[in-house]
Structure 1
Amino acid sequence: MMVQLALNKSLKERFTTTTTNMSRQKLLNQNNDFDYIPESSTSLNDSESEVEKKQTATAKNKKNKSNINIISTDVSYVVPPGENYVCELLRIVVKFSEKDRNGVQSASLIVKRLLENELVQKFNEEMGFFSCEFSIYRCILPMIEKLGLKEKIAPKKYYASMEPENIIVIQDLSALHYKMANRQEGLNLEHCLLAIKKLAYFHAFSLALYEKYPKTMDQFNKGMLSKTEAFEQYFSTVYQGTVNACKREPCLQKYYDKINKDMKEKLFSSVRRDSKFNVLNHGDFWCNNLMFQYNANGSLEDVLFVDFQVSVFASPLYDLHYFIATSTNLEVKEKHIDEIVYYYYNELVKNVKILKTTVTVPSWKDFEKEFCNKAYMGFTSLIIGLPIIKANKRNDATVTNLLTENDDEDSFHHHCFTNSNYLTAIKFLLPYYDSLGVFDN
């Protein structure tokens, strides 16, 4: 608890050093209180005794906070340009001391805020990136924990606010030996199965939550593939980039005519909510949004999810297809897709039974059939995700530069559709989706 209080106090005192001058002034004027919200907030469902307990805990927290002395804060960027296209991620390491305890302690947190980019801001306004993630951390994850969640899904949240600007403050997982995999190489089978196992666990709990509180899922109706002006602009550009890549590459030219026709309506309709069987999808389930933990021997132990900005209540195949297209390495794509799908299905069925929900999971035969029917989701993931996922780390790696359609050989846009990692992936995936009937009339 003292670590949490120190982090909160440090945010209160020093967070403005990480923001723009205008944002600093907003924060100062608002005099934000960075109390540890999950323990102190109340809801309409709380009884009088519960409210009293939370108010007492808040008062105690404030008293304890006065016993903490912040010695220093160190601010650094978590990822370099080219690794995060929507948000700025800052790591703040706090050194502090307690009045009644000798020695200096330290704690680390991650501050996440939207990039000050006109296009990103437009995406946020139209698609509600931050309001979605705010709801996940503030409401959904605490609610599923009360349903008996034993395995951790995401990092601890210390603070979340949408005013005066969008900010989320979470636990720094690197301090617990979690790290990202190499997005360009993709994940091997061991990493894939661990991620899919945790995904099925999360999906099952979302089913249990929906069964008990159906209205909790009403807000998750957009997702990444929403027909908004900003997304249509993005989609049109990367779609044409994919078409051009097929035209340039001799071995892909047979797909040029197949994908050159207007397939947008089919792609958008493929992600509409299925009335039969839906779960809360992470929505952007790819390797950079997965943090893997390793033990002292380097063995894989756990995985946690980050970036719930486009979560959507829809078919579970939304997450599954997106993951397979964007995050698996070439060996997994070539040899283990069926194994991954079957493994996910069995884990989902197992967890639904444990939770004793009345929801009926489709039979394996029906699920397998639906996987083929929803293959448009995977093809869409290829189009919107692979160009930036497979791109090299570059100083000009921004969404704006991707969308400029500057096809000069040294431009970021040109690089996204011509680099070897991208071409290797689509040379396997286009025939694969063709085999699933994506290009059939």
Structure 2
Amino acid sequence: MPATENFNDDELVAPKWLNNDFLKEVIQSYEKNKDVKVTNFKLTPGTVKGDHFASVMFRAHVDYKLRHSRYSKSVIIKTMPEAQGLKKEMLENSHIFETEIKMYTEILPKLESVLRSIGDDTKIGPNCLYYSLQPRKCIVLEDLVPLGYTVQRDRDLKMDEIKEVMRKLAVFHAISYYLNKKEPQIFDSLQYGFMNDPSIAENSFLTDGIKIFIEVLNEVPTLRKYKPYFQVFQKDVFQKCGQSFNEFRENPQSNGIYGLCHGDFHFKNLMFRNNPINKKLEDILFLDFQISYLGPIVNDLYYSLFMMCSREQRLHHFDELLYLYHSHFKSILNKTDFDGEVPTLREIRAMFLKHKHYELFLLSSFLAMRYEFLSKDIDIEKIMRSRESRKSLYMNKEFLDELHQLLPKYLHNGYFEDLM
């Protein structure tokens, strides 16, 4: 396997179990036939450094024989980290693989089945070919690259792309909102996002962000006046965010708008397919459903605001994008036999203030890292290990410039009123 700095260290050497016998089992599952002989395979890292954190990924190109004919198949293998270190420590007791297996094998097919019943051919994510929890946790997905899909790494999304992202998110939310009214039991096990999964929520990476943010507010004279608000905010931010993530299970509200949240909705968790001739966008698929959960859909909208949108889109076009999102959300529900009240745009917007602690958490803990996402040298593990490396992101001039625009807006919109 290639030893290069462009890949994560734990994806340069495949584990011993990722061998001919394992790949034979995968292809047998894919072909639904035991008469499979793997003739050759090649393993490479599944993606480049900076694209993901919560798994170890390999790409396998497999040549095999079936019924005297020869075939080949490229697959993506996601598994838990085996090497000791931060990644294993953070993830080994989490629910991420159980959640993602449930999503790929049961929930996404169910959502797409409902969509087909109303004449909508939207596909949400890649096909799952194989999975296991014992003797090891792994998921094998169809490789989308041979199908013409790519990850967008070197630029922000254009408006036509972000509009299609928001359309598909609306479809994802609307059908899950519908199913939660009709068959809520199918979501019973989907309850752990990163703010209420103890093995993740208690990790220093999540808890230290607000501390660094307050330090930066103190060190930048023109931002220092906001420090007292965030010092108070810091005291119960994790409790409040946990309550938001647990709200549907523990304290459902009559005016709550609950659906399936992707949970980690940033642009590197998407793959895009463009027409090879005219380059027009044809499709987008969602990836990485490891922290998907049933909760307030506004939490995904927050995440898309900070981690999906560009600065320009965030500051000047999010109202337009939210209007577009709601239009599709409403349109999808109106095509089903849903007989309840369709949430209005005004009601969705009201959720932003109600669940503001999560929005302010993302602002203070994640937005600085979003500015680093386009860097070819991004090292997520280094940022998570080193407080100094992480704090350097907070001193990014563009990030500080945006804070000078966002913080007055939060002040004027009443976000800080009950924090003092």
Counterpart amino acid of residue 138 in structure 2: I
2:282 counterpart of 1:282: no
2:167 counterpart of 1:197: yes
Counterpart amino acid of residue 243 in structure 2: S
Distance 1:169 1:422, change over 3 A: farther
2:97 to 126, 130, 139: 130
Tell me, in whole angstroms, the C-alpha distance in 2 between the residues paired with 1:419 and 1:107.
43
Distance 1:298 1:246, change over 3 A: farther
- Match in the other structure for 2:298: 317
Counterpart amino acid of residue 269 in structure 1: Q
Tell me, in whole angstroms, the C-alpha distance in 2 between the residues paired with 1:327 and 1:427.
20
2:329 counterpart of 1:357: no
- Match in the other structure for 1:55: none
2:134 counterpart of 1:151: no
2:281 to 283, 297, 300: 300
| Post-superposition offset of 1:31 | 10
Tell me, in whole angstroms, the C-alpha distance in 2 between the residues paired with 1:114 and 1:434.
42
Structure 2 unaligned segments of length 5 or more: list them: 1-10
2:2 counterpart of 1:20: no
Counterpart amino acid of residue 289 in structure 2: F
Determine helix, strand or coil for the equivalent of 1:108.
strand
* Contact 2:191/2:294 (8 A) holds in 1: yes
Determine helix, strand or coil for the equivalent of 1:20.
coil
- Match in the other structure for 1:370: 351
* Contact 1:178/1:292 (8 A) holds in 2: yes
Tell me, in whole angstroms, the C-alpha distance in 2 between the residues paired with 1:17 and 1:333.
37
Tell me, in whole angstroms, the C-alpha distance in 2 between the residues paired with 1:306 and 1:36.
24
Counterpart amino acid of residue 159 in structure 1: Y
- Match in the other structure for 1:172: 143
CA deviation profile, 1:11-55 (whole Å, cap 9, x unmatched): xxxxx996334x569x97x9983356588xxxxxxxxxxxxxxxx
Tell me, in whole angstroms, the C-alpha distance in 1 between the residues paired with 2:137 and 2:227.
41
Distance 1:135 1:414, change over 3 A: same
1:34 to 26, 31, 34: 26
* Contact 2:44/2:59 (8 A) holds in 1: yes
Distance 1:74 1:24, change over 3 A: closer
- Match in the other structure for 1:182: 153
- Match in the other structure for 1:402: 384
TM-score (norm 2): 0.82
Tell me, in whole angstroms, the C-alpha distance in 2 between the residues paired with 1:113 and 1:119.
16
Tell me, in whole angstroms, the C-alpha distance in 1 between the residues paired with 2:319 and 2:23.
54
Q: Which stretch of structure 1 is more off in the superposition, 219-228 or 334-343?
A: 219-228
* Contact 1:283/1:311 (8 A) holds in 2: yes
| Post-superposition offset of 1:179 | 1.8
Tell me, in whole angstroms, the C-alpha distance in 1 between the residues paired with 2:130 and 2:49.
25
2:390 counterpart of 1:413: yes
Distance 1:177 1:33, change over 3 A: closer
CA deviation profile, 1:54-74 (whole Å, cap 9, x unmatched): xxxx4xx223x25xx52x322
* Contact 1:18/1:75 (8 A) holds in 2: no
1:237 to 208, 218, 238: 208
Distance 1:347 1:36, change over 3 A: farther
Distance 1:427 1:162, change over 3 A: farther
- Match in the other structure for 2:226: 255
Tell me, in whole angstroms, the C-alpha distance in 2 between the residues paired with 1:159 and 1:257.
51
- Match in the other structure for 1:439: 416
Distance 1:179 1:255, change over 3 A: farther
* Contact 2:12/2:45 (8 A) holds in 1: no
Determine helix, strand or coil for the equivalent of 1:33.
helix
| Post-superposition offset of 1:435 | 3.9
* Contact 1:285/1:323 (8 A) holds in 2: yes
Tell me, in whole angstroms, the C-alpha distance in 2 between the residues paired with 1:263 and 1:328.
27
* Contact 1:281/1:314 (8 A) holds in 2: yes
Q: Percent identity?
A: 24
Tell me, in whole angstroms, the C-alpha distance in 1 between the residues paired with 2:89 and 2:95.
10
TM-score (norm 1): 0.79
- Match in the other structure for 2:407: 430
Q: How large is the RMSD of aligned CA atoms in angstroms?
A: 3.0
| Post-superposition offset of 1:333 | 1.4
Determine helix, strand or coil for the equivalent of 1:219.
coil
